[in-house]
Amino acid sequence: MSRAAARRDALRVVAGERGLDAVLVTNLLNVRYLTGFTGSNGALLVSTSGADLFGTDGRYTTQAGTQVPDVGLLVDRATVSALAREAVRRGVGRLGYESHDLTVDGLAALEKVLADAGTAPELASVRRAVEAQRAVKDDDEIESLRRACAVADQALAELAAEGALRPGRTELQVGRELDARMLTLGAESVSFETIVATGASSAIPHHRPDATELRDGDFLKLDFGATVDGYHSDMTRTVVLGHAADWQREIYELVAAAQAAGRAALAVGADVVAVDAAARQVIADAGHGEHFSHGLGHGVGLEIHEAPVIGPLGAGRLAAGMAVTVEPGVYLPGHGGVRIEDTLIVTDDAPELLTLTSKELLVL
């Protein structure tokens, strides 16, 4: 059985438990996860009785035949409507749908199609059932994440070795070279807009690279990632150019200690709020609580930010196979900031570190 077929079976079990006869999956990444389809238009009807149906339009007939060979194919420009009519034809009594994905207009259209097609099924939101499934990665997904992390590690190592991170170069130049290197090394795209922040801008958590020149004695913070097989890596390293001042070493060591505490707290069954607190407490104890202004981490996978949220506003517990980041930071407005971020896999033992670049303070 293919990975995708096993995932559809898992959703079928959830649907059955919730008393649904079928689920209409409209979120394109969820469709990809459940079928392997990478095109830009597709939807999926998962039936508790077992006969699933994949819908797309005529542009993707050939691609669907290759990528989704094991699911019935329905080709129609109005993909969701066609699948909804099929659900009515099959006598579906309760139809699950993704309320976080459908727009208000989309839901109205779906209700009209169902009503026009005959005896309309009762609609019930499955909420983020597929996203919850996606939070726990299988071996194939973990292997893709390993490769995505390795590409990012390698790109940074090469740039550092070539002296590309030196005073006089601009944030934009460094960012573009990092992106190009990741693509050369096998990334299909970058995971998100690369963050390159130097000097006072390093105190801005999500600074956009600009024409600012790197200067001797400044922090240089790089937050970037590569996408491989659709899976995103995410890492941050902060280095110092030329020589490190005492205050820079001090906050660097503090963030490194908080990051180690966060990694150590990643365990099966751990509450995500407690994992955040483990790292946050280290920073608060040093008097910098107010300078750590974001959550500790997040899940990564087909999206750069996905379940679980590891932060004060998160909810739930970690499970084996979850891919998450641990990324505390301390940002001193007007001076500079440090963030250190790894991507890891939660396991029954110690977490598997996928980001392998050293976390010793690097002075370039």
- 3-state DSSP percent of the chain in helix, strand and coil, to 5: 40, 25, 40
Of residues 98 and 223, the one with the C-beta less far from Zn ion = 223
Of residues 23 and 330, the one with the C-beta less far from Zn ion = 330
Give the nearest distance from C-beta 5 to Zn ion in angstroms: 31
Spatial separation of the C-alpha atoms in residues 192 and 190, rounded to whole Å? 6
Of residues 21 and 223, the one with the C-beta less far from Zn ion = 223
Give the nearest distance from C-beta 135 to Zn ion in angstroms: 15
Site residues for Zn ion per CB under 5 A: 223, 234, 236, 325, 341
Of residues 121 and 230, the one with the C-beta less far from Zn ion = 230
Residue of 227, 222, 157 lying closest to 192 (CA atoms): 227
Q: Output the CA torsion sign for 24, 16, 345, 148.
A: negative
Cα 167 to Cα 121, 170, 198, 240, 329: the distances in Å are 65, 8, 10, 11, 24
Give the nearest distance from C-beta 300 to Zn ion in angstroms: 7
Give the nearest distance from C-beta 108 to Zn ion in angstroms: 36
Of residues 26 and 325, the one with the C-beta less far from Zn ion = 325
How many C-beta atoms lie closer than 10 Å to residue 196's C-beta?
28
Of residues 69 and 312, the one with the C-beta less far from Zn ion = 312
CB 231 within 8 A of CB 139: no
The DSSP call for residue 169 is -
Angle, alpha carbons 4-38-321 (nearest 5°): 45
Give the nearest distance from C-beta 110 to Zn ion in angstroms: 34
How many C-beta atoms lie closer than 10 Å to residue 323's C-beta?
31
Give the nearest distance from C-beta 183 to Zn ion in angstroms: 18
